[in-house]
Amino acid sequence: MAGDPLDELVQFLKPEARIDLKHIAVDHLVGLSGTEDGINTLLSQDKIIQSIIVLTDDKVEEIAKNALLILVNITASAKGVTELLKFKSDGNKNIVKLLIGYVLNPEKKDADAACMALSNITRVESEVESTLDTFLPHLNDILNAYCHVEFNKRGSHLNYIGPMISNLSCCHRIRKWLTEENPHIPLLKLLPFCSYEQSNIRRGGAMGTLRNISFDPEFHSFLLSNDLELLTYLLNPIMGGEEYIDEEMDMLPISLQYLPKEKQRETDVDIRRMILETLNKLCMRKTGREILRNNGVYYVLREYHKWEKDPKVRLACENVVDILIQKEDEVGAEELSAVEVPDDMVEKFQKMDEDYIKE
């Protein structure tokens, strides 16, 4: 019986193998990793996976790049992430620590692929907690690399650090780190990227992080504190150049008053949706609702709703408006998350939302 063809490739994947043969072997594996069946085949070959990990640091940059792209493809599925996390590099580093090292190396030409693989890994909720001990000692350096847009000297943009941090912020330990780490609060560094025009990936990562933190009422007081000016960063992307009457204008945060007529709204529908989800969560408590009302959020959403065409996002906007236009005695609860909704009513509301979106 003939042996597995992949077994024969292992000899060509060694660092000391002939460069032309390494190229051919790695190119073949890149193609194989482009399909689900191909990834399953790769994952059944521990020696192949181990060789690919070693080649991510090959002296031939094209080979290192393709090895990293294979890891990006493998980590696109939850199964791939789970299997890959079992491996270590030759230096006994786990795969996450190895990839972090590439991201933080300003001379690593294809650090973007390492960022993408880490973004994929952190997207798998069942595995992300197990990676936190590896991430936490490096988070300050990772965030600094994200904030310095020319950190990498070889052409990598590192935009995928954004969604990676957003994914990590699904964990309470990371939300706590982002909002409480001393002496400099990390979240403050992320805020300016909520309107970073050069990359919707980096922009979406910043906004996704804010949204994830807002899901935890524990951090609402911090998010809505005067020092943070969060509403400025949330409202600016969904504002155009519309005019408000003086009474309404005076309620808006100062930096959002009298925007130029040519001001454009956020073009990415997913980012707009995340903004509205964040505003919705900030309405969870009475103090949050009052702060949103006192800062003219309703007036911004009123104008934004006239512009928005996506039915799901329009519905998300209306959900926030429905809360803000009510007086507190009409809301009827100090904290909305404490209100128990019967299962049959949940189904009814979901059906109403689905019908609205279809219409």
pLDDT per residue as tens digits for the range 158-209: 999 999 999 999 999 999 999 987 778 999 999 999 999 999 999 999 999 9
User: Which one, of 92, 61, 59, 87, lies nearest residue 74 by Cα?
Assistant: 87
Could you give the CA distance from residue 335 to residue 305 in angstroms, rounded to a whole number?
26
Residue spans of the domains in the chain: they are: 86-332+342-358
CA distance 309 to 180: 38
Q: How far is Cα 319 from Cα 275, in angstroms, rounded to an integer?
A: 13
45 φψ region: left (φ > 0), alpha (ψ -120 to 50), beta (else) = beta
Question: For the domain bounded by 86-332+342-358, which CATH number is listed?
Answer: 1.25.10.10
Burial level of 215, CB count in 10 A (0-12/13-18/19+)?
middle
Give yes or no for residue 1 having a pLDDT over 80.
no
Which tens digits make up the pLDDT trace of 277-286?
999 999 999 9
pLDDT tens column, 212-267 = 999 999 999 999 998 899 999 999 999 999 999 999 999 999 999 999 999 999 99
Alpha-carbon dihedral 212, 166, 240, 260, rounded to 10 degrees? 120
